[in-house]
Structure 1
């Protein structure tokens, strides 16, 4: 499909427990009825034909929904250990990738053009690339193949931030007018607020 990059693997982080939302937020329907994580997965798949997600045991419905749209889903105990362990598991499972585009399943309002901009930066040689909106770095974040060892060694709740903020590495920030890159959904009120902001734009 146009704009797809078979060499860069998408990683959809979707193993959280939604404790602040009060229910399984990743299955919560958006305004059009699409479950939140499914919308995020489709957006990532449109850019990365090989997209992977590491899930917890028990996420049966989400596993089925993501598998049906073509996401490579693995159930692994790494999810129970934290986001860093989950990310490392996905990276170790794709050692031949040219890079990785890491997206959060609870950020369904990221624009397609933003995803393509981050991919473009990786294709053009960026070591790490991320969008920024209103002075804040957002998601998704792209990592080049040179980050493999650092990503593969992550564990627990320590995600990719320490790699991104490592002064020895180069971060390419892409300024975008896309509030979706800085708005994750933690509570039901967040979903309503973000949807309203997106609708007004």
Structure 2
């Protein structure tokens, strides 16, 4: 069986800019939640999916993917002898799928990224060590990394994530007709905009 890139969905952040008492990833968005919709699109790509999350959100993730595909880590920002951060989450996700032919890093708060975008970036990894989605020339997510970068990805830590790798290796932009690659849910205002967009898209066309 031909190995494929795996989608690493990052869902371990604390969402500090979201002021509601609930976690932003569990907020309702249409018939699902922010995280649920992100995962629905990831699963629809037919690529392997791994969710890196915390104890608080693990059950929410398991509603969409198998328990074996949920990697539980301390929350981003948890005090300790070494900073965890987004880099730690990426390393944990990559380590969970060491035999993949690459890895696509997708934040859990980007529910509008389409499955076709994920497969397009995955295909680009056949020819480039780093690839990312872009819309109208603007860089977005996911960001993909080829298998040759495994040893560097699994040693990431802190809040910088994989930016150094993106800067160090030739990165290929994959132009997609998907504005979702630029849309994340940082605040309640962001979430409300998405709800309005969804409602408008679902409304019947007036003739």
Shorter-normalised TM range: 0.7 to 0.9
Flag the 1:20–1:82 CA change in 2: closer, same or farther, 3 A. Answer: same
Give the Å deviation of 1:34.
0.4
| 3-state SS in 2 of match to 1:140 | strand
Q: Deviations over 1:114-168 (max 9, x none)?
A: 1221112123x221111112332100111100111221111011211221122xx
TM-score (norm 2): 0.82
Partner residue in 2 for 1:181: 181
Kindly state the Cα deviation for residue 110 of structure 1 after the two structures are TM-superposed. Answer: 1.1
Pick one of 26, 29, 53 that aligns with 2:51: 53
Counterpart of 2:70 (choices 67, 73, 76) is 73
Contact 1:66–1:73 (Cα < 8 Å) also in 2:
no
Q: Secondary structure at the match of 1:110?
A: coil
What are structure 1's unaligned runs of at least 5 residues?
A: none
Q: 1:48 to 1:151 in 2, by over 3 A?
A: farther
Are the equivalent residues in 1 in contact too, given 2:45–2:116 (CA < 8 A)?
Answer: no
> What does residue range 9-48 of structure 1 map to in structure 2 within 5 Å?
9-22=6-19, 23-30=22-29, 32-48=30-46
**Could you tell me whether the CA contact under 8 Å between 1:8 and 1:48 is conserved in 2?**
no
- The change in CA–CA distance for 1:91 and 1:133 in structure 2 (over 3 A counts) is same
Please tell me whether residue 134 in structure 1 is matched to residue 133 in structure 2: no
Q: Which has the larger radius of gyration?
A: 2
Contiguous gaps of at least 5 residues in structure 2: 79-83, 202-207
Name the Cα RMSD after superposition: 2.2
Taking the aligned partners of 1:89 and 1:49, their CA distance within structure 2 comes to 18
For 1:61 and 1:178, how far apart are their aligned partners in 2? 29
Equivalent residues of 2:12, 2:73 under 8 A apart = no
CA gap 1:48/1:103 in 2 versus in 1, 3 angstroms: farther
CA shift for structure 1 position 173: 0.4
Residues of 2 paired with 1:131 and 1:71: CA distance?
A: 28
Residue 109 of structure 2 corresponds to 106
Tell me the matched-pair count: 191
Aligned to 2:205: none
- Give the TM-score normalised by the residue count of structure 1: 0.85
